[in-house]
Structure 1
Amino acid sequence: MATHHVLLLGGNGKVSRLLTPMLLQRSWDVTSIIYNPDQVADLQKLGEKPFSANNYGRLDVLVRSLEDVKSESQAKSLIDEVKPDYVVWSAGAGGKGAPERTEAIDRDAAIYFIRASVATPSITKFVMISFIGCRYKKAPWVDEAHWQQYLKSTRNHYQRYYEAKLPADEVLYVEGKKRKDFAGICLRPGRLTMEPAGNVSLGKFPRAEGTSSRPAVAYLAALLLDAPGVKNCWLDMLDGDEDPEGAVKRCVEQGVDCAEGEHFY
């Protein structure tokens, strides 16, 4: 098994805390970026080797404020310090607090780290955790009635978050296309829950409304990082009826890309 070093931005989030041991169990090293020093000791427990594990990766926890990253060069400086070959963005203000904070983290810092990652030849995969309705317009395969219901019931309530998040998703797609050896993967779940990981719907399906288990999101992120041949893409995800391993294999082999229909596709 090839070893990798993952830079996990937003390491104390619920998805990140589930993802971290999945990566360590693959004998990969993880550098987790958090902003609150009070969380370090608790997070480091995720790096404790289980008694049954033969090979377990190393977890490093660094305290850094993503809100204070104001340029691509600052993002590149952290990347050069950590020296990862994979990056996962699971950070964000999520629309909470002042609008400027959401814009500084979910839009600006994300874009700086995307551009810095693409500019780093040793980085070959970047997984962005986004959400299914983060689009400029309805996907061609989504039912119009379902889309309008989704806008009314969900997305319109998170307008600030959507407006900050979407430019970063677009930049990951556009910049990721510039390198043949780089995969910018935007994983796009629905309403997040803490239900146990189960089967999923991954790719194109006729609805945008639905739930996504956080453990399943984390597991899919790990599978996509581990998947040989995965290309630059957006992948929508809800709880469903296909096993995660089969869903990832199908989407990779078929080149499924949910960015279809967007102006930059």
Structure 2
Amino acid sequence: MGRHALILGGHGKVAQILTQVLLRGSWTVTSVIRTKDQVSQIESLAPAGQNNLNVLVHSIEDVRNVSEAKDLLSQVKPDVVVWSAGAGGKGGPERTFAIDRHAAINFIKAAVETPGINKFILISYLACRQRPPHWWNDASWKYAQEMQSGYLKNYCKAKLAADEILLQEASKRADFVGISLRPGMLSDEPAGRVELGKTNGSEGNVSRASVAETIVSLLNHKELQTCWLDMLDGIESVEDAVEGVVRNRDNVAEGEDVYFI
């Protein structure tokens, strides 16, 4: 029997590519989108003759607590959850924190409390951290700090809060894996080779298609542990990069307060 993925924020660019890749891999996908006028676009992602795509109109912003998040998870009954939702800079700081922090945390906690769900992948951002990692040079940390204090300030705060909660909550279940996938700046280039885990720096791009393919590889891998993984364009195939982080037990939360949980 194929597995069932719930994609929260299904109308986003990464989410749409991810939906197509999962459907080609015989997954069942439930894509949660915000408005009815997005339905036809998401439905068009399914190959002709396939009926393994469900589209659910539900505003993530309106999920105010863990109980409401659990209600949605109970309705869908997925095996895995991918958080690809975000305010996208629209609506000011309040909306950024409502979606990227509060709603994300509600769904993380709800997923951990739902026995049938065994994996949660949160799409975050590489610069979201409190301390300089020892594998970056000073220039890389300076760039990350500029992102944290500049136009991405509220986004970084919200994402970091969700990243930290993911590690804390995932540690409560031995049979649950929580992964924060933290790409650099996203591009619309075709999928290609990547750098995954402890990247050599903080500045750089990665294609949305590569992010989507990496998510699928992470979902399919059975030996992953809860972790944060940074991601940029690089020199390895997605498959080799994922095998590498599994083999090396990479976790770029190293050095953060939550790393020792």
Fraction of identical pairs, as percent: 50
C-alpha contact 1:133 1:155 (8 A) present in aligned 2:
no
Deviation, 1:206, is 2.8
Aligned residue among 211, 230, 254 for 2:205? 211
**Hey, what does 1:87 align to over in structure 2?**
81
Runs of 4+ in 1 over 6 A off after TM superposition: none
Distance 1:149 1:114 in 2: 29
Alpha-carbon distance between aligned partners in 2 of 1:95 and 1:159, rounded to the nearest angstrom: 11
The one-letter amino acid paired with 1:116 is A
Which residue in 1 is equivalent to 2:156? 162
Aligned residue in 2 for 1:23: 22
Q: Residue 19 of structure 1: SS of its match in structure 2?
A: helix
Question: SS where residue 222 of structure 2 aligns?
Answer: coil
Q: Aligned partners of 1:146 and 1:125: how far apart in 2? A: 30
How many pairs were matched up?
Answer: 259
Contact between 2:127 and 2:147, CA under 8 Å: does it hold in 1?
Answer: no
* Counterpart code for 2:257: H
Q: 2:123 aligns with which of 124, 129, 150?
A: 129
Deviations 1:37-82 (A, max 9, x none): 10101110112337xxxxx560010100111110100000000000
Q: Distance in 2 between matches of 1:87 and 1:36?
A: 20
- The answer (yes or no) to whether the contact 1:67–1:105 under 8 Å persists in 2 is yes
Distance 1:125 1:173 in 2: 12
Q: What are the Cα deviations for residues 228-258 of structure 1, in whole angstroms up to 9, with x where unaligned? A: 1111010000000011100101111221111
Letter paired with 1:180:
A
In structure 2, the partner of 1:37 is 36
User: How far apart, in 2, do the equivalents of 1:146 and 1:98 lie?
Assistant: 28
CA contact (8 A) 2:144 2:202 kept: yes
1:53 alignment partner in structure 2: none
Q: In structure 1, how many angstroms separate the alpha carbons of the residues matched to 2:51 and 2:232?
A: 29
Matched, 1:254 2:253: no
Distance 1:146 1:26 in 2: 37
CA offset at residue 150 of structure 1? 3.8
SS of 1:258's partner is coil
Instruction: Determine the C-alpha separation between the residues in 1 that align with 2:91 and 2:115.
Output: 36
CA RMSD of aligned residues (A): 1.4
The residue number in structure 2 matching 1:245 is 239
Letter matched to residue 138 of structure 1 = P
Range that drifts further, 114-123 or 173-182: 173-182
State the TM-score, normalizing by the size of structure 2. Answer: 0.95
Amino acid across the alignment from 2:20: P
What is the DSSP-based 3-state SS (H/G/I as helix, E as strand, rest coil) of the residue aligned with 1:48? coil
TM-score where L is the length of structure 1: 0.94
Output the CA distance in 2 between the equivalents of 1:251 and 1:236.
10
Further displaced range: 74-83 or 170-179:
170-179
Aligned equivalents of 2:103 and 2:13: distance in 1?
Answer: 20
Q: Distance in 2 between matches of 1:57 and 1:41?
A: 14
How far apart, CA to CA, are the structure 1 residues paired with 2:152 and 2:254? 23
Separation in structure 1 between the aligned mates of residue 6 and residue 163 of structure 2, nearest angstrom: 18
Matched residue, 2:8: 9
Kept in 1: contact 2:5–2:79 (CA 8 A) = yes
Residue aligning to 2:179: 185
Distance in 2, matches of 1:253 and 1:121, equals 27
Instruction: Give the drift of 1:152.
Output: 2.8
> Does structure 1 conserve the Cα–Cα contact (< 8 Å) formed by 2:196 and 2:232?
yes
Contact kept? 1:95, 1:160, Cα under 8 Å: no
Q: For 1:169 and 1:73, locate their aligned partners in 2 and report how far apart those are by CA, in whole Å.
A: 20
CA contact (8 A) 1:28 1:57 kept: no
